[in-house]
Amino acid sequence: MRAVPGRNRAERGAPPVTADRSRAVRGIARRYEPGPAGNGVPTVILSTQHVRELNTARILRTLRENGPLSRAQLAEISGVRRSTIGAITKRLMTLNVLEEREPAPDGARGRPATPLWFGSRAAPCGAIAISRDEIDVAVVNARGDILARNVSDLDPDVDVENIDRAVVTLLRETAKDFRGELVKIGVSVPGVADHTTGEITSCPQLPALVGTHLSEAISAGTGVTAVVDDDSHGSALGEQFFGGGRGHASFATIQTGFGIGAGIVIDGTIIRGPAGLSTEVGHTCVDRFGAVCNCGLRGCWETIAATGWVRQAAADAGLKDATSITIARLTALAQAGQKDAARLLEQYAENIGIGLANLAQTLCIQRFILHGHAIQGGEGLRRQIEAATQRRVLQARRAHVIVELSQMADRAGVFGAAAIALATALPVRA
Ligand SMILES: [Zn+2]
């Protein structure tokens, strides 16, 4: 085990919740009555207490998705009345869930509004990021501070009992100073997980996990509810709460590497299929006469945009150590004037851009946050990928398409896992 030093739009659609004070019954959360037309649709009457809880959740979600906000901004974005915001935030500050931050000078006359943000002990979550050869465990609070962290190597051939034991042991050690405080545990796995049942349905990198319910073992071993999800969803939720997705209603995170995956957020909600199915953009066809993919289909995006393609193309170009070459090495070669390396990087950017443009055209996504191997290419490769994407979308949309590099570096896994927990937990124990 090695210790690692520690280190974040409103909900749309639903109207703000208001109590029907004249009819609410103290102590009864809901009462069902026939609909006005007698059509069998129940009318839900909420007690004042229940309304306060729902508005509290709404305020916390607005902060989580937008970062620090003044009370006026909170009211505008969340749709909760200003007077209600005042009462709820006062209570949350008393509970140390929220705190006031120093206002940033805005150049206007008068005192700038004071932003509210999560306190340092607000909603600490257990975060467990499992990859093929590593277990990365942290305690992360609602504002995105890593309060404790440990990483352990993992043998990919390990059996499931040993994975369970290793994960629980590492979490207990990491969270020893937070006993009784963790509100939830988020677990990200490199495969497909049904986050409603916790069953891992596919995991090519760690086959022992298929068919297992890792979250149940972790909950039983720690006494804290654990929720498991796949790492592509974790990446998107992590960027939404702690990174470049914050404040943006729609965006996609793109995992680049030996495969290509995406976590897609539309109007603040991550796209999920039934029974835990995730999107498989890496296996959408970009060339019907292309190479056969690992999945058995022909001409998938992965066959031209994964690191395997890069290495094959490097070998074809006669580059040294092509079978183990990295994007970082190619970038260094290109910067040193190696023309074949520069040409290959340009082609790689074009190939990634094809898939991003298809997503932009299909789902109106305008912001892409890159994770994985492509980050090694730095700002130069980012610009090339952005330009390649823009060239393939309709002209009127081009200027709006933005490609960013994730700023999370080696913290992406635990931020994703923490966000999996926060996405399903009311981030307050009050
Ligand atoms: Zn495929």
Q: What is the pLDDT of residue 191?
A: 85
- Measured CA to CA, the distance from residue 301 to residue 291 in angstroms comes to 10
Quote the ligand 1 centre to 294 CA distance (angstroms): 6
Do 81 and 74 touch, CB atoms closer than 8 A?
A: no
From ligand 1's centre to the CA of 273, what distance in Å?
18
- Grouped pLDDT means (10 residues each) for the chain, 430 residues: 42 40 35 44 66 86 89 92 92 92 75 88 92 93 95 86 90 94 93 83 85 90 92 94 93 95 93 82 96 95 97 97 97 97 98 98 96 97 98 95 96 96 62
Whether 213 is covered by a domain: the verdict is: yes
- Residues 312, 402 share a domain: yes
Q: Does one domain contain both 104 and 197?
A: no
Q: What is the pLDDT of residue 1?
A: 53
Measure the CA–CA gap between 270 and 228, rounded to whole angstroms. Answer: 15
Q: How much distance in Å is there from the Cα of 255 to the middle of ligand 1?
A: 15
**Residue 150: inside a domain, yes or no?**
yes
Query: Ligand 1 mean position to 253 CA, how many Å?
Result: 19
User: Both 53 and 114 in a single domain?
Assistant: yes
pLDDT of residue 424: 76
Q: Please tell me whether residues 352 and 289 are part of one structural domain.
A: yes
pLDDT at residue 202 in the model:
85
Residues 38 and 129 occupy one common structural domain: no
DSSP string, 312-374: HHHHHTT-TTGGG--HHHHHHHHHTT-HHHHHHHHHHHHHHHHHHHHHHHHH---EEEEEEGG
Question: Which of left, alpha, beta for 80 (phi over 0: left; psi -120 to 50: alpha)?
Answer: beta
Instruction: Give the HSE-up count for residue 204: Cα atoms under 13 Å, Cβ half-sphere.
Output: 4
Do 90 and 160 sit in the same domain of this protein?
A: no
Domain that holds residue 341: 246-407
The Cα–Cα gap between 159 and 207 comes to: 9
What pLDDT is stored for residue 47 in this prediction?
A: 77
Asked if residue 230 and residue 281 are part of one domain, the reply reads no
Length of the chain counted residue by residue? 430
Query: How much distance in Å is there from the Cα of 262 to the middle of ligand 1?
Result: 14
Choose one of 118, 142, 169: the last residue of a domain: 118
Assign residue 54 the CATH number of its domain.
1.10.10.10
- In this structure, the answer to whether residues 70 and 95 fall within a common structural domain is yes
At residue 202, what are phi and psi to the nearest 5 degrees? -155, 135
Tell me how far the alpha carbon of residue 369 lies from the centroid of ligand 1, in angstroms: 22
What is the CA(303)–ligand 1 centre distance, in A?
7
The answer as to whether 212 is a domain residue is: yes
CATH of the domain at 350: 3.30.420.40
Residues with CB under 5 A from ligand 1 (ion): 283, 293, 295, 297, 300
Is residue 399 classed exposed, middle or buried when 0-12, 13-18 and 19+ CB atoms within 10 A define those classes? exposed
277 CA distance to ligand 1 middle (Å): 16
How far does residue 260's CA lie from ligand 1's centre (Å)?
10
Question: Tokens representing 229?
Answer: 């999800």
**Does residue 207 sit in the same domain as residue 233?**
yes
Considering the domain boundaries, does residue 429 fall inside one?
A: no
What's the 280 CA to ligand 1 centre distance in angstroms?
Answer: 9
Of 70, 57, 28, the closest CA to residue 45 belongs to 28
- The count of domains in the chain is 3
Enter the DSSP assignment of 111: P
Residue 107's pLDDT is 66
- Return the pLDDT at 413: 95
* C-alpha of residue 214 to centroid of ligand 1, in Å: 27
Neighbour count for residue 179 (Cβ, 10 Å): 10
Determine, yes or no, domain membership for 1.
no
Give the Cα separation of 242 and 146 in Å (integer).
11
Task: Tell me the two tokens of residue 266.
Answer: 């539309």
192-193 and 134-140 beta bridge pairing: unpaired
Query: Is the distance from CB of 141 to CB of 120 less than 8 angstroms?
Result: yes
Answer whether residue 3 is part of any domain: no
Q: Output the CA 189–ligand 1 centroid distance in Å.
A: 20
Determine the Cα–Cα distance for residues 282 and 261; give it in Å rounded to an integer: 6
pLDDT confidence of residue 399: 94
Task: Based on the fold, state whether residues 129 and 187 are members of the same structural domain.
Answer: yes
Would you state the pLDDT for residue 408?
A: 95
Same domain membership, residue 369 and residue 220 = no
Q: What are the structure tokens assigned to 198, written together? A: 């916790």
d(CA 204, CA 219): 24
Beta bridge partners of 164: none
Measured distance CA(126)–CA(191) in Å, rounded: 20
382/372 Cα distance (integer angstroms): 12
Clarify whether residues 273 and 400 are in a common domain. Answer: yes
How far does the centroid of ligand 1 lie from the alpha carbon of residue 284, in Å? 7
Q: Does the residue 374 lie in any domain?
A: yes
2 within a domain of the structure (yes/no): no
